[in-house]
Amino acid sequence: MLNFTVGPVMSSPEVCAVGAQQVPYFRTAEFSRVMLENEQWMLRFADAPQGSRSLFLTSSSTGAMEAVVMNCFTEKDHVLVINGGSFGARFAKLCEIHAIPHTELLLKPGQKLTREMLYAYDGQPFTGLLVNVDETSTGVLYDTQMIGEFCRKNHLFYVCDCVSSFLADPFSMKGCGADVMITGSQKVLACPPGVSIVVLAPSAVGRVNHARVRSMYFNLADALTNMERGQTPFTPAVGILLQIHTRLKEIDACGGAQAEVARVAAQAVDFRRKIDGLPFTMVSQSPANGVTPLHPLHANAYDIFLTLKDHYGIWVCPNGGELRQTVFRVGHIGALTHEDNTLLVDAFKDLQRKGML
Ligand SMILES: *Cc1c(COP(=O)(O)O)cnc(C)c1O
């Protein structure tokens, strides 16, 4: 199997080896130490301000998005949601479900968010902003710095869903002033799905501790208290947390966040260079490093996904909804190499020879 989807992705042999072991009991000093190390690595790689905290939730990343919406906002807020695709729409839906007043800044698929578009909302009575830093459905990377300045000027609580962009695109909580950063285990962390991570700046820790959240499982104040001793309120995905520990250690040993971002960027550049001349157009006006969404000019995007999977053992990532027939995505995250890119591009060329591309 050669997996170019955007999650789950290919794991390193070291991470796979941890997954093959028995899962230990977790209310121990040893497991607490693992969790506290995981927390420190996350804070460092997110470039979080002094006094920030990391929480590890046993849920997919949508669970973390929901937990943040529930714990950080109330019906007294008014949140601006950047909605450029299916993940932006998810934030809007979460606000709707939890009765958080919100306004959507809607973008067309692949469209870049410009300063003009954002500042059309300047000076209005918003209290928060939600953005998916890489809107993974179309691979659009938003400018976290520009949005951060807007948030600072308007005193907005700034939430960055970095689920697919964390360690793929340059990001600094300190630099852009984000109050919250969210990511998950199955994207650049290249572990199995099941754990999501929330990094809270001190401003967010304060907000979470004063929240009156109507949820037991997603009570982040409870999670913060437990995390002081490296524990979680309920049984976490212990095995995945051990794999995350191995992976974070691996990233640290290979040069940290910057080196991982550079590796993913090089993987993307190599792929985009190799498909030059093939009958595709790029979808994103502002491409993120983690994924390249492609529009095939002559063939059906979903058929390409099926053919590659069934006849070549190669997985690219289909799109859902409206873009299903017209766009598929190639991921550059996880344990992939430039040689893997060549294998995929050779498969495209083979399809082209057969008149299927
Ligand atoms: C993958 C992803 C998510 C969450 O997906 P889950 O399936 O819930 O893990 C959220 N936001 C973005 C931007 C993503 O890429």
pLDDT tens-digit readout, 244-300: 999 999 999 999 999 999 999 999 999 999 999 999 999 888 999 999 999 999 999
Q: How much is the pTM? A: 0.97
Asked if 262 and 305 touch (Cβ cutoff 8 Å), the reply is: no
Helical spans, DSSP H, in the chain:
13-19, 29-45, 61-72, 86-97, 115-119, 144-154, 173-176, 202-209, 220-227, 238-253, 256-274, 301-307, 338-353
Mean pLDDT over 300-318 rounds to 97
Whether the CB of 7 sits within 6 Å of ligand 1: yes
pLDDT of residue 19: 98
Whether the CB of 183 sits within 6 Å of ligand 1: no
Whether the CB of 188 sits within 6 Å of ligand 1: no
pLDDT of residue 234: 98
Whether the CB of 83 sits within 6 Å of ligand 1: no
pLDDT of residue 146: 98
Query: Cα 101 to chain center, whole Å?
Result: 24
Q: How far is the CA of 46 from the centre of ligand 1 (A)?
A: 18
Contacts of 229 (CB under 8 A, 6+ apart): 32
